[in-house]
Structure 1
Amino acid sequence: MPTVPDRMSPIDALFSAALAVQARAHAPYSGFRVGAAVLDETGAVHAGCNVENAAYPVGTCAEAGAIAAMVAGGGRRIAAILVLGDGEALVTPCGACRQRIREFAAPDAPVHVAGPEGLRRSFTLDALLPVSFGPDNLGVGA
């Protein structure tokens, strides 16, 4: 797993990883490629891209792929996440991905949204998913 190089900021490392995987997205139906990268609690960077499917509901969001890569790599906490999409509008995580992020991130975790030119805006998870339901609601340490 790559980690953030000493000479690079965490946001730059996340952007670089998301940009690299965005190019590999499988988006033959929408043509809308998305890349995402998470920084875990150890400083490792994990990336994922959207993977569409002819049966539309079974496609996978980039954020879900990055989270799965983090878990497969041994990471357990999202320290920060960056989502990269094309177009003029902000490409924020969908509702389902906001809940997926919540499973592994604290309410104050930064969620960065970028376009091809770079960072567009940053939020906290709590700003995107206020009063959320998470592991702590079930008595499980987050």
Structure 2
Amino acid sequence: MTMEPWASLGYKAMPLGRWLARRAREGWVWLATERGSILGLLVLQPDFLLGDFIALLAVYPAYAGRGIGRALVERAQSLTFSRRRWLYVSSDSLNLAAARFYRQLGFVRVARLSDLVSQGRTEILWRKARAPGKFAQLAPRRAVQWRRAT
């Protein structure tokens, strides 16, 4: 894995690929594509602390700033908030861009988890609540096609 922050955390391509394939078979991986090219992906872990957990959100750097990450998170919100109260995600405490991104999307920091992913590193756990009586609406903003990865 050459994409940050996973490269500096020691993630390897083969084990990550096997994990992604397993999650895709279970139906919890979404790809954002445009004209057949993958722009980004999101992996959702269901049934986490009375909600769901975004286990992986990645957008290729060439597509950063186009709203792909936001659209993927909105997709996860739509699914999660149709049946659960909470949506969670975590980010490395040094990843200030991720912190800004999640705050802008309405996530609130709920915990600091030392040594979770890597010795000496701290993960921030973020949580977003479903609005009372409201359900998220799926409305892609760009010409991005959605499909479950298989």
TM-score (norm 1): 0.36
TM-score (norm 2): 0.35
Structure whose residues are more often helix by fraction: 1
- Flag the structure with more relative contact order, 1 or 2, with Cα contacts below 8 A and sequence separation at least 6: 2
Structure whose residues are more often strand by fraction: 2
* Higher Cα Rg, which structure: 2
